[in-house]
Structure 1
Amino acid sequence: MTSDSSRLSTRPEADGSGAVQSPESRRSVRRKFALVLLAGVLALTGAVAGIYYYTMRPVMLQVAVGPANSDDAKVVQGLAQAFARSHQQIRLHPLLTDGVAASASALSNGEADLAIVRGDLDVPKNAQAVATLRKSVAVLWVPPKPKGKNAKAATIKTIAQLAGRRVGVVGQTDANVNLLKVILQQYNIDPAKMDIVRFATTEVAQAIRAQKADAFLAAGPVNSKITADAIAASARDGGAPTFLAIDSADAIAQNHPVYEAAEIPPGAFGGSPARPDEEVKTISFSHHIVARKSLSDTTVAAFTRQLFAIRQQVISDFPLAAKIETPDTDKDAVIPVHPGAAAYVDGEEKTFLDRYSDYIWWALMAMSATGSVGAWFASHLKKEERVGNVTQRDRLLDMIALARRSDSADDLDQMQAEADAILRDTLNRFESGAIEEGSLTSFNIALEQFHNAVADRKWLLMSTPPRPQTASVQLRTTTGS
């Protein structure tokens, strides 16, 4: 007879084929999955936060401008301070140079992101226009004739009469000398046959008083203080300087697209009588804010937007800021416009969602996929637990039959211990949501029947007298002698 105890078995373990896992194993799997899921969510959240920080962090741009005390440098420094005070996304760091030529070189060499360049000079090939900082005009004038002397300069009334004369150029830059040569060549005057002398801005007044030149040329904004002071120094003994009109301004602009025909309005340089006393025709050129071609469209668009939004705030301190204009967006512009600046001017600037919608969409898809995988895995774990619960309930039902046939109290105690373990595991499953209340009710019925069967069997074993042991008789065969 096979003992009932041999039919008792330990609780099934997880083997990957639908068998029940132990509570510790299931908790370990759930714990590992929760950690993996949490790590995935944190990684995605960190990626989104990183993208947002990267796109919204302040961007510092190096701006090449010079010379140090020029109006252009003062305007750029004013803009840099205004950007910093208002905590703008784009910040400026002025990189002071010796002049516009050095600024252009800094941009060309990659030392600067932005630069203030002069339109009538060679513009770097990697430069694209962002804004027009200001326009400058060429001013040619002849100081009045000194009293009591027959100076040749007094006879100059037109540009054609400059041939063979000495012309002083205000400023040490080669750009103004080149400007004078362009004007002279339009009037068929050979610059090589003239005496062209450059004077620093601090030397002009002394040069005029010492009559070191027959005529002078200055280039700058119409309201330039340097030009106005130089012209004021030319007026002596009540005499007024003579302004030379560039009547061929339209032809120069036609031959040299970097220049435009312009007029100097009466009284532009102050004085009494007004200087000049009537409108004077001349040519003008622009100073541009240019950016490296490789600079991000988003960055340039943000800078352009900030520039025109904050311009009004710096006008009181830097009146020249009022002259800042949008760039020429035509395809045949002298300096091609940067796509970022063109997007702002044309109202096609991309918003944050426009620029990063694809990244956001993929991030959401990744989060959705992670959530779906997590939900599937959780459902899979619960399904295994539900299957395990059914298996344990069936095991409990089997133990009811075993208990009713058991002849050993030890076997009953062993089955009771297994039932307690099944009960503990079932309650854990219920708390984790793996089984529903209805399943718990059916399990409770089976458990109650098992306890009743064990109690009845123990009472029966205790009330039944032990069976008498059957004596074994050993027959001996006696052999006769």
Structure 2
Amino acid sequence: MTDGPDQDNAEPIVPPSPRSAQRRAAFVVLAGVLAIIGALAAGYYFAMRPVTLRIAVGPASSDDLKVVQRLTQALNNQPHSQVRLRPVQTDGAAASATLLGEGKADLAIIRGDLDVPKNAQAVATLRKNVAVLWVPPAAKAKGRKAGPKITKIAQLAGHRIGVVGSTQADVNLLKVILQQYGVDPAKVEIIQFPANEVVEAIRNQKADAYLAAGPVNSKITTDAIAASTRDGGTPTFLEIDSAEAIAQNHPAYEASEIPAGSFGGSPARPDDEVKTISFAHHIVARKGVSESTIAAFTRQLFAVRQSLKAEFPLAAKIETPDTDKDATIPVHPGAAAFVDGEEKTFLDRYSDYIWWSLMALSAMGSAGAWFAGYLKKDERSNNSSQRERLLDMLTTARHSDSTEELDQMQSEADDILRDTLRCFEHGTIEQGTLTAFNIALEQFHNAVADRKSLLMSIPQSLQRAGAQFRAAGTA
């Protein structure tokens, strides 16, 4: 028996390279990875981009405003600053507190002895202020007898008291002090002098005693006390020896001392330590500002403070807030995290979001794979039926008596091959399934070639007779 031409041309089917399917899978994986990286990069950008905080401060030309302006320049000029400031100038601490309470500012400089907004939380203590009460020496006048010398606060009844500055808060402070010593504020004449007019007022003896509230090294207070020195006499400092009692009744105040020589001069002014009360100017944040933002601001604030000390001494007065639970102004969680060394990093803050995002992406990938497999179910089922059909044709080919029938089956096998290769390209069937199909197809081609060779060697009359015999037998 000789091999027919079909046997010579029959070649085993080489499975198509799965590179196309692998390439598509690689593209899908790469796209997913890039999507995750892009999402993380976008999240990092939005989380770390600079946040601009509005800070209410005033009045104009005040030390508070000068400090905030310098802080604003320093923070805004830092190359990797996470927080930037935008000052909102107000008429004073009370107006700043109002803006914060109304949500029109994110930060504010307020006085601790004023009404604190309910949504205010402490970030830092900008500076401590002391109350200074003094009496200028009596002027010598011919033919006029000097009044009794004032050495105690209780002796101020019936006298004129000048308050340095135009804020009502300092007048309220004076009234608290007077009431502690049994002096009815209505029995004294309170006169307010703007800071730029107080020196002239002292020289012209427009009041019998004066009150100034500010830092110990305040230039305004120092100049006012220097102006009180005349005719060789020195001012008398009135000691607030009931400072602890005042602090107990008014938590916004603290018992404090004015060190000897704080206001210069020779002899030193004062010549000994003077008991008094103090209060703070606070940097407060609106409760709704995020913890991470305030933690970053607090960290930058104290870093900048160190660099500004030499050129701007007022920055040295900035202190960390009181983190005790019973603090007069509750501390902001972000500031507390910085003070306690518990500030969260980017991963600490967003690790849960990153984890759940990855889990969600994984779940979506699994769901997508299942859905894709579900959509290919019919295609796999059809391919399985085609394999069964190929095996049936293999059996039929071994007993066929017609080359036309063999040609038809071979054409059908070509169609099955085409569909099978398409399924493999689409990822519907695996490499093992394609290999099994290749073996079946090779057996089919061998069977067709062998049968054709056999039929070509048999005379046509015998072929027809055999076909009729089998047809009759089946009938």
Please indicate, yes or no, whether the TM-score normalized by the shorter chain is above 0.5: yes
Distance 1:437 1:116 in 2: 73
Distance 1:204 1:299 in 2: 42
Q: For residue 181 of structure 2, what is the amino acid of its counterpart? A: Y
Distance 2:211 2:145 in 1: 19
Structure 1 position 199 matched with structure 2 position 173: no
- Residue of structure 1 aligned with 2:130, choices 126, 137, 140: 137
Q: For residue 259 of structure 1, what is the amino acid of its counterpart? A: Y
Q: For residue 274 of structure 1, what is the amino acid of its counterpart? A: A
Number of the residue aligned with 2:255:
261
Distance 2:241 2:433 in 1: 103
Number of the residue aligned with 1:398:
392
Bigger Cα displacement from structure 2, 348-357 vs 428-437 = 428-437
Number of the residue aligned with 1:65:
57
Number of the residue aligned with 2:90:
97
Distance 1:383 1:151 in 2: 116
Distance 1:382 1:162, change over 3 A: same
Distance 1:269 1:370 in 2: 73
Number of the residue aligned with 2:304:
310
TM-superposed deviation, 1:433: 6.4
Number of the residue aligned with 2:81:
88
* Runs of at least 5 residues in structure 2 that lack an aligned partner in the other structure: 1-19, 466-475
Residues 153 and 214 of structure 1 are in contact (CA less than 8 Å); yes or no, is this contact kept in structure 2? Answer: no
TM-superposed deviation, 1:467: 5.0
Number of the residue aligned with 1:295:
289
The superposition leaves residues 237-286 of structure 1 with CA deviations (integer Å, 9 ceiling, x where unpaired) of 54432222222222222322221221111221122332222222211111
Number of the residue aligned with 2:327:
333
Distance 1:57 1:437, change over 3 A: closer
Number of the residue aligned with 2:117:
124
Number of the residue aligned with 2:470:
none
Q: TM-score if structure 2 supplies the norm length? A: 0.80
Q: For residue 174 of structure 1, what is the amino acid of its counterpart? A: Q
TM-superposed deviation, 1:208: 1.8
Q: For residue 279 of structure 2, what is the amino acid of its counterpart? A: F
Bigger Cα displacement from structure 2, 360-369 vs 147-156 = 147-156
Instruction: Tell me the SS of whatever aligns to 1:284.
Output: strand
Where does 1:80-479 land on structure 2 (aligned, <5 Å)? 80-86=72-78, 87-149=80-142, 150=144, 152=146, 155-376=149-370, 391-406=385-400, 408-428=402-422, 440-459=434-453
Instruction: Tell me the SS of whatever aligns to 1:125.
Output: coil
Bigger Cα displacement from structure 2, 366-375 vs 158-167 = 366-375
TM-superposed deviation, 1:37: 9.0
Distance 1:337 1:419, change over 3 A: same
Q: For residue 175 of structure 1, what is the amino acid of its counterpart? A: A
Distance 1:255 1:424 in 2: 95
Instruction: Tell me the SS of whatever aligns to 2:117.
Output: coil
Distance 1:286 1:244 in 2: 21
Q: For residue 319 of structure 1, what is the amino acid of its counterpart? A: P
Q: For residue 245 of structure 2, what is the amino acid of its counterpart? A: A
Instruction: Tell me the SS of whatever aligns to 1:155.
Output: coil
Distance 1:281 1:445 in 2: 105
Q: TM-score if structure 1 supplies the norm length? A: 0.79
Residues 143 and 154 of structure 1 are in contact (CA less than 8 Å); yes or no, is this contact kept in structure 2? Answer: no
Q: For residue 221 of structure 2, what is the amino acid of its counterpart? A: T
Q: For residue 66 of structure 2, what is the amino acid of its counterpart? A: K
The superposition leaves residues 405-439 of structure 1 with CA deviations (integer Å, 9 ceiling, x where unpaired) of 54555443333333233334444555666666665
Q: For residue 118 of structure 2, what is the amino acid of its counterpart? A: K
Distance 1:438 1:193, change over 3 A: closer
Bigger Cα displacement from structure 2, 88-97 vs 375-384 = 375-384
Distance 1:332 1:448, change over 3 A: closer
Instruction: Tell me the SS of whatever aligns to 1:132.
Output: strand
Distance 2:47 2:165 in 1: 43
The superposition leaves residues 162-192 of structure 1 with CA deviations (integer Å, 9 ceiling, x where unpaired) of 2222221110101111111112222222222
Distance 2:28 2:448 in 1: 45
* Runs of at least 5 residues in structure 1 that lack an aligned partner in the other structure: 1-26, 471-481
Distance 1:288 1:409, change over 3 A: same
Instruction: Tell me the SS of whatever aligns to 1:282.
Output: strand
Number of the residue aligned with 1:77:
69
Percent identity over paired residues? 72
Residues 152 and 214 of structure 1 are in contact (CA less than 8 Å); yes or no, is this contact kept in structure 2? Answer: no
Count of aligned pairs between the two proteins: 443
Instruction: Tell me the SS of whatever aligns to 2:205.
Output: coil
Residues 37 and 370 of structure 1 are in contact (CA less than 8 Å); yes or no, is this contact kept in structure 2? Answer: no
Residues 385 and 435 of structure 1 are in contact (CA less than 8 Å); yes or no, is this contact kept in structure 2? Answer: no
Residues 37 and 374 of structure 1 are in contact (CA less than 8 Å); yes or no, is this contact kept in structure 2? Answer: no
Residues 41 and 367 of structure 1 are in contact (CA less than 8 Å); yes or no, is this contact kept in structure 2? Answer: no
Q: For residue 100 of structure 2, what is the amino acid of its counterpart? A: L
Distance 1:433 1:281, change over 3 A: same
Q: For residue 190 of structure 1, what is the amino acid of its counterpart? A: D
Bigger Cα displacement from structure 2, 92-101 vs 37-46 = 37-46
Distance 1:104 1:153 in 2: 43
Q: For residue 213 of structure 1, what is the amino acid of its counterpart? A: A
TM-superposed deviation, 1:224: 0.6
Distance 2:98 2:242 in 1: 32
Number of the residue aligned with 1:23:
none
The superposition leaves residues 414-471 of structure 1 with CA deviations (integer Å, 9 ceiling, x where unpaired) of 333332333344445556666666655544443333333434444555566655999x
Distance 1:297 1:394, change over 3 A: same
Distance 1:314 1:445, change over 3 A: same
Where does 1:13-52 land on structure 2 (aligned, <5 Å)? 48-52=40-44
Distance 1:452 1:256 in 2: 107
Bigger Cα displacement from structure 2, 90-99 vs 372-381 = 372-381
Instruction: Tell me the SS of whatever aligns to 2:304.
Output: helix
Distance 1:153 1:235, change over 3 A: farther
Residues 77 and 94 of structure 1 are in contact (CA less than 8 Å); yes or no, is this contact kept in structure 2? Answer: yes
The superposition leaves residues 211-258 of structure 1 with CA deviations (integer Å, 9 ceiling, x where unpaired) of 222222111000111111222222345443222222222222232222
TM-superposed deviation, 1:138: 0.9
